[in-house]
A and B are shown apart, each in its own frame.
Chain A
Amino acid sequence: MRHINRKPDRSTGVFLAALPFVLVVIAYAVGSEMRLSVNPQDKLLPAPSTIWDTAVRLFTQGDRRTGDILLWKDTWASLTRLLGGVGIAAAISLSLGMLIGLFPYARKTFAGFVAVLSMVPPLALLPILFIVFGLGELSKVVLIVIGITPIMTRDLAQRVLDIPHEQIVKAQTLGASSGVIALRVALPQILPRLISNIRLSLGSAWLFLIAAEAVASDVGLGYRIFLVRRYLAMDVILTYVIWITLLAFLIDWALKTLSRKSFPWMEAGL
């Protein structure tokens, strides 16, 4: 039997899916054990039990001075920036993408501009953003917006152009105006694309967020990681990395579920 036709059964599938995770954990535990047996003071690869203790402490114990639990404060600050930036980017790219996709005049005006804009490396603009918008929340949100909007816009505009021309003509023969075509034909078909677009852009959004927080901030997940780096506090860094990964995974899962619930017609053909 050809390998492309061989499929694992259910239990094998679960085992295979879990395998890489288990291997990474084992490799880490072994590496950590080897280093700690040579030097019990080693900080580079803290034992899994140490990470667990640190995690429990970070999630439950308040700061000695203020009593605030820093991890939750960091999480709240970072998520506000992230979701704010992604939300603004989604709104801009949706409206601009619809304009470019539907209206030839807007297409001629903006398509080339957005294409060039998407080539600008956003992180290179970070100093400018800090100078223009200051070191507060605004510059971080703007970095996320600048970082992901152009590419989202290009993709959404293409999705609008991908709507079969027959549908657009058909809508016109039913008497639809440009606005009605945008609102009732293009928008509903583009919304699921917007959600998958957001899911793909969240990775870059996290990147820009952490970069901005690392450079200048006083609270946030990225800030904390780069702060404790100075003390080589690997247990804290690893806890934060795992926590960020978990947050990213949960947001992605929530968006996927939302998409499936909101757009039943997408899957009606399956």
Chain B
Amino acid sequence: MSFVSVTDVWQSYGDRSILERVNVEVDEGEFISIVGASGCGKSTFLRMLLAEETPVRGEIRIDGGEPASEPNRERGVVFQRYSVFPHLTVRNNILAGEGFATRWGRLRGAARRAGLERADAMLARIGLNHVADQYPASLSGGMQQRLAIGQAMAAKPRVLLLDEPFGALDPGTRIAMHEFLMELKAETGMTVFMVTHDLEEGFKLGDRVLVFDKPRWDPHDPGAYGATITYDFDARDGGIPFQHLKEAEDV
């Protein structure tokens, strides 16, 4: 059984059909890029993975568990903006990844000391230990997104969901963030879903690239049919996954 299984998922808002018959199986540790035209439901799909929305039909299971009805610690998320808490310092933002799950939302005593050590280790890993006591507003966009990723990782989610995480960054910072994300992924082997509108980014980072599009189109009623996964590319080895296999057979 695969790690994340999406079975016959439909979603619509009122009369407007957004997604139809979405089926996909994802193995643990895969990096899934989700691309598509704007308005094709890729963000809706991510919100359903997040359990922020529940599909009208079908179900999404993680590791065979029950379909979730609200966001929980299994699913970490990084949005394009507003993913960190502006009123907490950088260190406390990381600490919130552990502390928010407690009864009063804050670690105490020995647990807090241990948490602070882990937070500092995380800060060192994401390269933000020199700004640990600053507030997010004083960080650059790239630093804020690194903080958001570190905060999500601190909660040790089973699936990491990224909603156009680098969309608001300048090209140089974006490439640095790609490297950072690839390193993090290699270290942790986490399952990642990333929505992006940048095809190149999708193929560069993803093991698989899912393309969302509408297979049916009614020109008189654009909202009648929803989108679904029209292509499922294997993007490993620069999008030519079987080249080694072929070469091995030839010999």
Contact = CB atoms under 8 A, between A and B. Distances in A.
B96 A264 contact: no
Interface in A173-192: 173-177, 179-180, 183-185, 188-189
Interface string B120-151: 00000000000000111110000000001001
A188 B134 CA distance: 17
Nearest to B105: A180
A43 B70 CA distance: 72
B82 A175 contact: no
B137 A189 contact: no
Nearest to A167: B82
Contacts of A189: 86-87
B87 to A, nearest CB: 4
A32 to B, nearest CB: 52
B179 interface: no
A265 interface: yes
B50 interface: yes
B152 A167 contact: no
Contacts of A184: 96, 100, 105-106
B85 interface: yes
B7 interface: no
A53 interface: no
A24 B158 CA distance: 69
B119 interface: no
Contacts of B102: 180
A8 interface: no
Q: How large is the interface on B (under 10, 10 to 19, 20 to 34, 35 or more residues)?
A: 35 or more
Nearest to B52: A169
A268 interface: yes
A267 B182 CA distance: 34
A180 B104 contact: yes
Contacts of B52: 169
Interface string A101-139: 000000000000000000000000000000000000000
B155 interface: yes
B58 interface: no
A175 B155 contact: yes
B173 interface: no
Contacts, number: 89
B48 interface: no
B157 interface: yes
Contact of A169 (B50, B89, B136, B148): B50
A167 B85 contact: yes
Given A183-B105, A268-B134, A164 B81 contact: yes
B76 A173 contact: yes
Contact of B100 (A166, A175, A188): A175
B75 interface: yes
B54 to A, nearest CB: 14
A172 interface: yes
B82 A173 contact: no
Q: By CB atoms of chain A within 10 A, which of B52, B85, B104, B138 has the most?
A: B85
A176 B138 contact: no
Contact of B157 (A171, A173, A177, A188): A173
Interface string A192-206: 000000000000000
Nearest to A190: B87
Interface of B: 50, 52, 70-73, 75-77, 79, 81-89, 96-97, 100-106, 134-138, 148, 151-152, 155, 157
Interface of A: 164, 166-167, 169-177, 179-180, 183-185, 188-189, 263-265, 268-269
25 contacts: A164-B82, A166-B79, A166-B82, A167-B82, A169-B50, A169-B71, A169-B77, A170-B77, A170-B83, A170-B151, A170-B152, A174-B97, A174-B152, A175-B73, A175-B155, A176-B100, A177-B105, A179-B105, A180-B103, A184-B106, A185-B85, A264-B135, A265-B135, A268-B138, A269-B138
